[in-house]
Amino acid sequence: ILNVEQSPQSLHVQEGDSTNFTCSFPSSNFYALHWYRWETAKSPEALFVMTLNGDEKKKGRISATLNTKEGYSYLYIKGSQPEDSATYLCAPRPTGANNLFFGTGTRLTVIP
Amino acid sequence: EPEVTQTPSHQVTQMGQEVILRCVPISNHLYFYWYRQILGQKVEFLVSFYNNEISEKSEIFDDQFSVERPDGSNFTLKIRSTKLEDSAMYFCASSRGLAINNEQFFGPGTRLTVL
């Protein structure tokens, strides 16, 4: 079992604000890190798979960085929109495992 | 765009009853998974399945649970004798392979309520 922490647990921002949140995970046995966006009653949507220390990935207004040596990843949303409201989950995959270990998620609410 | 589908979306059952949760993974994917999320807790891995057999399972996946790929498209999770603590959202996922950058694609989940 991996101890995966996400902060903050929830976040309210105004439309147009930029925001970021953190995922912390054990740096030993690291293999890959997955980020998901999950809206209620829908499937969790895969955002990024990150593998290398220093990786930066971008999808539209959402980007993520990865530090495998210290065991954290940041997710950034630039110019938040109401449709960005969702729970953002990170899930590391350790070496030798097929499965993902999820954090508790950060619930983002963007206020119009 | 291909997606993972799950049925039913909500299942209510009495304690001690058997339930079967169904999933249709993405058609060219080879690896299949079940995860669950008890209300207020983290999403937890249950089992992964490849080439018609279990490849990994967690401590949660005890003798009460079984998985099957009964035909070329469906992937099922059976709970033989449900307990109150089995109430959770159950997610099916599939992936093309196990390469480092392979994504796992999730279905919308089945909410299981055990009374």
Mean per-residue pLDDT over chain A, rounded: 95
Question: So what's the pLDDT on residue A85?
Answer: 97
pLDDT band at A4 (very low <50, low <70, confident <90, very high): very high
Percent of chain A with pLDDT over 90: 88
* B110-114 vs B88-95, strand pairing mode: antiparallel
Answer yes or no: do B108 and A91 touch at CB < 8 A. Answer: no
A57-109: pLDDT as tens digits: 999 999 999 999 999 999 999 999 999 999 999 999 998 888 999 999 999 99
Q: Cβ contacts of residue A37 below 8 Å, gap of 6+?
A: A44, A45, A47, A62, A86, A87, A88, A89
A97 touches chain B (CB under 8 A): yes
Contact: B56, A46; criterion CB under 8 Å: no
pLDDT in tens, B53-104: 999 999 999 999 999 998 878 999 999 999 999 999 999 999 998 888 889 9
From the CA of A72, how many Å to the nearest CA of chain B?
18
Best probe of the A interface among B49, B103, B110, B111, by most A CBs < 10 A, is: B103
Search chain A and give the residue with CA nearest B56.
Answer: A98
**Angle at CA of residue A101, ends A98 and A104, nearest 5°:** 160
SS3 B86: helix
